[in-house]
Amino acid sequence: MTLSLPTAPPGAVTDVASAAALSVSDVLRGLDVDAASGLSGEEAAKRRTRYGPNAVASHRTHLWAVLWHQLRSPLLGLLLAAAVASYLVGERGSAVIIGVIVAVSVGLGFVNEFRAEQAAEALHSQIHHRSIAVRDGRSLSVDVTELVPGDVVDLRLGDIVPADLRLLEVSGLECDESVLTGESLPTDKGTDPVPPRTPLAELSGCALMGTEVHAGSARGVVVAIGAGTEFGKIAAGLGTRQQDTQFQVGLRRFSMLLVYVAGALTTSIFVLNVLLDKPIMDALLFSLAIAVGITPQLLPAVVSTSLAAGSRRMSRRKVLVKRLVCIEDLGDVDILFTDKTGTLTEGRIDYMRAVPADVDAGDPAAALGWGLLCTETSAGDEHAVGGNPLDSALWQSPAAEHARSTQAGWVRLDVLPFDHERRMVSVLVRGPRAQLIQVTKGAPETVLERCVDVPEAVRTALAAEFTAGNRVVAVATRSVAEARRPTREDERDLRLEGLLVFHDPPKADAAEALRRLADLGITVKVVTGDNAEVAVKVCRDLGLVDGGVLTGVDVDALDDTALTAAIANTTVFARVGPEHKARIVRVRRGSGTGGVAFLGDGVNDALALHAADVGISVESAHDVAKDAADVILLEKNLDVLADGVAEGRRIFANTIKYVLMGTSSNFGNMASAAGASLFLSFLPMLPSQILLNNLLYDTGQLAIPTDNVDDEQLRRPSHWDIAFIRRFMLCFGPLSSVFDFATFAVMLWVFDSGPEQFRTGWFVESLATQALVIFAIRTRRVPFFRSRPSLPLALATLGVVAVGMLIPATPFAHTLGFRPLPAAFFAALVGMVVGYLALIEVGKHLFYRAAAVDGPRRRTGDELRHLRRRAAYFSTGMRRSQAAPR
């Protein structure tokens, strides 16, 4: 059947569906581009101006969105409504005071969250993804957001397709389109057009944005970018909201705990005060103020301040996080799976020597020559963009110059690209006398099993190289009868030409970095595609091997239960493929209480990076690895990673300090206010005074992110435990109430106070106790003597207490409902504060001795996780383009 194709005048190609139905020549004509030379730089710039960036999302900070995030609190809405009601019934002073306090609280939260968002934007702007495009006849590495319709793009194994492409040339191309179609099996690609209105999943002549090259290579022309792509249309429906991390889930659960407590107290207080014939408006305002007093309003501000400051410190230490909240998740890591190359080793691969098949009489240069011919790069030299590191090491070696002369006159005709299942690459070459030879190069185990008559001396030499910790590639050949593209079935009956030996020495500082991770309570396990003996040699040199070794074959033989047990006793996983890595991470993640991190930089690491709680890659990594990662290291160094983990734990520890205060002193003070309102003829504290107390207290705690953290808090994973927080609240809340009621007794029976003086005395005492208790709660040690707070925290806390003590003596004290206190009160205050802190120390010792803290199981994420991550790949710091890109 002959397919009748429409023709396309220049400018007629509008989307991938229409391009798929056109012939290659018509598509190129429609886009006004030549396949060999691509666009000129000048033309690309014009089209960039016309079509905008190749982006589906923006990570730009939006001021109004941050402000709305602060204003959408239900409690805030109720307070504002109550303030309006107070104003309408004549309580204008209270209404103004409440309004001012709410405005200041919102302002503090807004400023800190906006700064944190700006820090996140700055980090995102440092992460770049690149693609290989042909411009002015040369292959160039360009940012994916700079691609325009008409750009000619090269695709290789593991690439994320950077736009909707009409394929021009393919070589065994298979694309994983599951992110778009849900189809789990890779899709074969070609260049033939398809009938009009063919379904998306059957556009075989096109490569779609956001999909991944599973095998082979290709060249295509961009027909649609940004929101005009099929991926862009789906990503636009997701919105910009990211999925919650483990830290955010814990934060939300904690907030819900306080909502339940505040709701129960607020409702009870309101009902009881009405039953006691107190004014309904006063009862309502008092009940709402109690709810606000319990709720840590500035917790988001404290978290944002911690994250923004932490991200700046981590950036200086060469650690970038795609989302600020991932910093805390990094602190929850207790096991790290990492590759070997560039992490434990220098990552600087040097070619050492060739071992010919005839070990005694063979020519090493001939084996090297065959290795130089068997390469995927079109340029065939070290200057080719996107070349393989081993091939680059071959071409850059001094021996390469002589070896090239042995292969003069040989021409490469076609290639079967490398993939991680075969672990080899094959090329078809034609010699000076028109002879056709297939050259195969790859992992020695897989190449040798396809060879005939392998000399025993070669196997002995191979074992010796592995024992020495060297990397080895085998090269073999076979004669072929016809000039056609090699297939997997052709990789048989090979004749071994020799072994190519490379060296990648251990890093000088890797051993110290491993010790540092061990001190942080992190177990390191090596997951590599390299030979087991090579990996063990490197690990042994660094003092890491204290467990067994499993290969990919061993992993396949174990079910998940057996693999769980084996992981605990295994340090090195060798000769493993992408699926093995992902399964190892997934199984360990499902069985542990701490977080699982995976560090990788290659195409074959992407599945494992997705499966981990925290995916970590490096700036020099393959784009598909950077896309899958949550954290980017500017240096592939375990010491840098240790800095990141310590920073994550430090931030989490300081956040928890604020949380524990909110569940002890805050809860106790508000419970005391609720109890006192039942037996007093007046409200123990006015609503505006409660809000002012809460604002002063929270403002002082904004310095918590600067606090020092005890070493033992850094040596264990950090995670939310709502049961622990609840026990802490029930234990320490009543201790706070004991001294509140002591203050009530002093004010009523010692000073014979009226309503104003009573409220003033309790305002000062409650602010002093709940502010100063941070010095006890911030550490499990004896405060000041064995654990010192940071200077900013000490000054902020003491400053807030001083302000609270001075307010009753100011000219506006009467407006706030305060009156001066007698000097004797302050002597009693000192005694109560000292007694309270001493009681907290005793309670702390008993509580931590009895507490059994068990971490929650990890969640597995949701079905949109990978799609959202992939959408972030195509984002800019600009506003989303309003143009209708092709």
The percentage of the chain sitting over the pLDDT mark of 90, rounded to a whole number, equals 27
pLDDT bracket for residue 496 (50, 70, 90): very high
Q: Give SS3 for 195.
A: coil
Q: What is the pLDDT of residues 261-306, one digit of tens each?
A: 777 777 887 888 788 777 777 777 777 767 766 666 666 666 766 7
Q: What is the pLDDT of residues 617-658, one digit of tens each?
A: 887 777 667 777 888 888 777 888 888 888 888 888 888 888
- For residues 669-693, give the mean pLDDT: 80
Question: Looking at residue 202, what DSSP letter applies?
Answer: G
Q: What is the pLDDT of residues 168-185, one digit of tens each?
A: 999 888 888 877 776 767
Q: What span, in angstroms and rounded, lies between the C-alpha atoms of 96 and 601? A: 58
Question: Looking at residue 527, what DSSP letter applies?
Answer: E
571: enclosing H helix or E strand: strand 570-574
CA neighbor of 147 nearest in space, from 237, 74, 231, 39: 39
Residue pair 636/700 in contact (Cβ under 8 Å)? The answer is: no
Among 307-321, 410-424, 544-558, 795-809, the range of highest mean pLDDT: 795-809
Q: Give SS3 for 323.
A: coil
> What does DSSP say about strands 130-135 and 152-155: parallel, antiparallel, or unpaired?
antiparallel
Residue pair 647/717 in contact (Cβ under 8 Å)? The answer is: no
Cα separations in angstroms, 119 against 125, 239, 303, 594: 10, 21, 13, 28
Give the pLDDT of residue 381: 47
Q: What is the pLDDT of residues 817-874, one digit of tens each?
A: 899 999 999 999 999 999 999 999 999 888 888 865 444 444 444 444 555 555 655 6
pLDDT at 810 over 70: yes
Residue pair 323/245 in contact (Cβ under 8 Å)? The answer is: yes
pLDDT at 94 over 80: no
Q: Report the 10 Å Cβ neighbour count for 181.
A: 16
Give the pLDDT of residue 556: 92
Residue pair 189/204 in contact (Cβ under 8 Å)? The answer is: yes
Tokens of 705: 């992110």
3-state secondary structure 493-505: CEEEEEEEEEECC
Better pLDDT: 31 or 869 = 31
Q: How remote is the C-alpha of 567 from its chain's centroid?
A: 24
At 139, phi and psi to the nearest 5? -80, 125
pLDDT bracket for residue 125 (50, 70, 90): low
Give the pLDDT of residue 46: 93
The percentage of the chain sitting over the pLDDT mark of 70, rounded to a whole number, equals 81
- For residues 444-448, give the mean pLDDT: 93
3-state helix, strand, coil in the chain (%, to 5): 50, 15, 35
- State the virtual CA torsion across 210, 215, 219, 222 in degrees, nearest 10: -10
Question: Looking at residue 883, what DSSP letter applies?
Answer: S
Give the pLDDT of residue 274: 80
- For residues 776-780, give the mean pLDDT: 89
Q: What is the mean pLDDT of the chain?
A: 81
| Alpha helix stretches (DSSP H) within 276-363 | 280-294, 299-316, 326-331
CA neighbor of 732 nearest in space, from 722, 724, 720: 724
- For residues 22-41, give the mean pLDDT: 91
CA neighbor of 840 nearest in space, from 830, 850, 832, 851: 832
pLDDT at 6 over 80: no
Give the pLDDT of residue 490: 92
pLDDT at 1 over 60: no
The vertex-572 CA angle with 567 and 578, nearest 5°, equals 80
Q: How remote is the C-alpha of 370 from its chain's centroid?
A: 42
Which of 83-92, 642-651, 722-731, 858-867 shows the lowest mean pLDDT across its residues? 858-867
Give the pLDDT of residue 8: 42
- State the virtual CA torsion across 611, 614, 618, 619 in degrees, nearest 10: 100
Which of 68-82, 129-143, 291-305, 374-388 shows the lowest mean pLDDT across its residues? 374-388
Which of 148-162, 495-509, 868-882 shows the lowest mean pLDDT across its residues? 868-882
pLDDT at 420 over 70: yes
Which of 30-34, 147-151, 711-715 shows the lowest mean pLDDT across its residues? 711-715
Q: What is the pLDDT of residues 343-393, one digit of tens each?
A: 888 877 889 999 999 887 788 888 888 988 888 765 444 444 445 778 888
**Catalytically annotated residue among 151, 334, 339, 419:** 339
Give the pLDDT of residue 860: 40
Active site residue 339: yes
Residue 434: HSE in the Cβ half-sphere, 13 Å Cα cutoff: 2
Give the pLDDT of residue 3: 35
Burial class (CB in 10 A: 0-12, 13-18, 19+), 742: middle
pLDDT bracket for residue 883 (50, 70, 90): very low
Q: What span, in angstroms and rounded, lies between the C-alpha atoms of 251 and 247? A: 6
Residue pair 63/107 in contact (Cβ under 8 Å)? The answer is: no
CA neighbor of 866 nearest in space, from 624, 631, 641, 645: 624
The vertex-865 CA angle with 860 and 866, nearest 5°, equals 115
Which of 111-125, 231-245, 247-261, 663-677 shows the lowest mean pLDDT across its residues? 231-245
Q: What span, in angstroms and rounded, lies between the C-alpha atoms of 697 and 765? A: 12
Q: Give SS3 for 174.
A: strand
> Given phi > 0 = left and psi -120 to 50 = alpha, else beta, which region is 770?
alpha
CB contact set of 508 (below 8 Å; sequence gap of 6+): none
Q: What is the pLDDT of residues 103-116, one digit of tens each?
A: 776 776 677 667 76
At 681, phi and psi to the nearest 5? -80, -5
Which of 93-102, 556-565, 668-677 shows the lowest mean pLDDT across its residues? 93-102
81: enclosing H helix or E strand: helix 74-88
Give the pLDDT of residue 862: 43
CA 281, 284, 285, 287 dihedral sign is: positive
pLDDT bracket for residue 15 (50, 70, 90): confident
Q: What span, in angstroms and rounded, lies between the C-alpha atoms of 806 and 793? A: 20
pLDDT bracket for residue 423 (50, 70, 90): confident
pLDDT at 877 over 60: no
CB contact set of 310 (below 8 Å; sequence gap of 6+): 324, 327, 647, 648, 650, 651, 705
Give the pLDDT of residue 861: 43
Q: What span, in angstroms and rounded, lies between the C-alpha atoms of 602 and 286? A: 60
Give the pLDDT of residue 606: 77
CB contact set of 792 (below 8 Å; sequence gap of 6+): 703, 706
At 432, phi and psi to the nearest 5? -60, -30
